[in-house]
Amino acid sequence: MNILYRFVSHCPRLGQSNQRYVHYLSQANPVRQSKDLVSCILNNTIHHDEQILVCNKPPGVMVLDETWDRKAEITNPEQDDEETKIKSSLSNTNPCTIQYHMPQFRSALKWSHFFPCLRTPNEPSGLLVYTQNSQLHEDIKSTAMRSFRKLKEPYLTFYGITTAIPRKLEDSQHVMIERHIHNGQYLSYEVFEATSNALKEGRVYTGTIEHRTLSTNDELKVALVEFKTTTCTWDFVEIYCLRQCAPLLGDNKYWNRVKFVAGVPMYINPIKHEIYPTKQQLNKHVRLALDVYGQQITCPLHLHLADFNLPKKFRRQRAIVHYHAQPFPYFHETLERLKLKFPDDLDMNKPFEQQIDEEFEDAINR
């Protein structure tokens, strides 16, 4: 009897007999229906004033559908969104995206325009920065893209959990990427040479990425890694992790490009060997630690855009901004389960707490 009681009390799925067990990873993305998207984003407001809205986006919440129908294809990630959207006659028909709900956001904010200054991609979590001021939008964009990025000065900081310990604990690389569409989604591929026309036309995009390993678990072969980069588009961090033979936890697009050959992890040419996305397979010990063994749970991508920093650095710099977003509770619980930890000097060990701006309550309730 005592043995049975101890077993049930230490098994959350059996111990909670009066309530349905809900795995913490299944709650990482709170959006269940498209109508919940606006309230989800506004409930995670970090800063809001007359000019700027800064929010913390949960993982998997779609910002835009890159495969929407368009009369004029846009390939260059430097191009504007709201203005280019009009000029190129874009037709975003996916109601599961933030882009689709721009009218509701403008209404809630009482803004006449909604320009993106920074957007975390669809799968990662992290910062979203919007403004209604076209000049401020242009100043931030110009400073980030034409000053910091051009001079290879990283201004974005990500934190990610990898399913292997990186080959090098610290490194810095300049990466070139091109994209191809496969089964309705864009896939990124690293290239090692590109023509000037490909770069100019935006068919190949470049970025500088550096990383340092903050914490490792040698038994589970996992790590917490900090990435500093000049871009957050085209899955740059995910592709960079493949160079280190350390795919990100929850990466269901690229993880299988790393194969074990005679027990040694190797980055395999995905085009030559026709490697396409499939659900990530974790080793037994990591699955047990995360309590996903034998469960039908798709693990969210554990990559968080935490910091957007354009400090005063250049003589004719047009914008100085600094915004920060703590990782969500699911990220911290995964760290705890994998016995990883942020260094104390980073002040990152407190998870993000939802903050509801009173000004948005009526819009959220609607």
Residue 299: exposure state from Cβ atoms within 10 A (0-12, 13-18, ≥19): buried
Tokens (6 digits) for 136: 């401020």
Q: Phi first, then psi: what are they for 316, rounded to 5°?
A: -110, 40
pTM of the model: 0.86
Neighbours of 278 (CB within 10 A): 10
Chunked into runs of 10 residues, the chain (366 residues) has average pLDDT values of 45 50 87 87 91 94 73 45 42 77 89 91 94 94 90 95 96 94 90 89 92 96 97 93 96 93 86 90 93 85 96 90 94 96 85 64 53
Tokens (6 digits) for 157: 């900081």
pLDDT of residue 84: 44
CB 300 within 8 A of CB 161: no
**Residue by residue, what is the 3-state secondary structure of the chain?**
CHHHHHHHHCCHHHHCCCCCCCCHHHHCCCCCCHHHHHHHHHCEEEEECCCEEEEEECCCCECCCCCCECCCCCCCCCCCCHHHHHHCCCECCCCCECHHHHHHHHHHHCCCCCEEEEECCCCCEEEEEEECCHHHHHHHHHHHHHHHHCCCCCCEEEEEEECCCCCCCEEEEEEEEEEEEECCEEEEEEECCCCHHHHHCCCEEEEEEEEEEEEEECCCCEEEEEEEECCCCCCHHHHHHHHCCCCECCCCCCHHHEEEECCEEEECCCCCCCCCCCCCCCCHHHHHHCCCCCCCCCCCCCEEEEEEEECCCCCCCCCCEEEECCCCHHHHHHHHHCCCCCCHHHCCCCCCCCECCHHHHHHHHC
Best CA proximity match to 122, nearest among 38, 64, 184: 64
Domain annotation for the chain: domains and CATH numbers: 25-343 (3.30.2350.10)
Q: How far apart are CA 203 and CA 172, in angstroms?
A: 23
Q: How far apart are CA 362 and CA 22, in angstroms?
A: 30
Best CA proximity match to 48, nearest among 168, 146, 132: 132
Q: How far apart are CA 83 and CA 342, in angstroms?
A: 40
CB 252 within 8 A of CB 279: yes
Q: How far apart are CA 296 and CA 318, in angstroms?
A: 49
Tokens (6 digits) for 149: 């990025």
Neighbours of 42 (CB within 10 A): 22
pLDDT of residue 356: 59
Q: Amino acid letter at 149? A: R
Best CA proximity match to 42, nearest among 116, 124, 101: 101
pLDDT of residue 239: 96
Residue 153: exposure state from Cβ atoms within 10 A (0-12, 13-18, ≥19): middle
Total residues found in the chain within this entry = 366
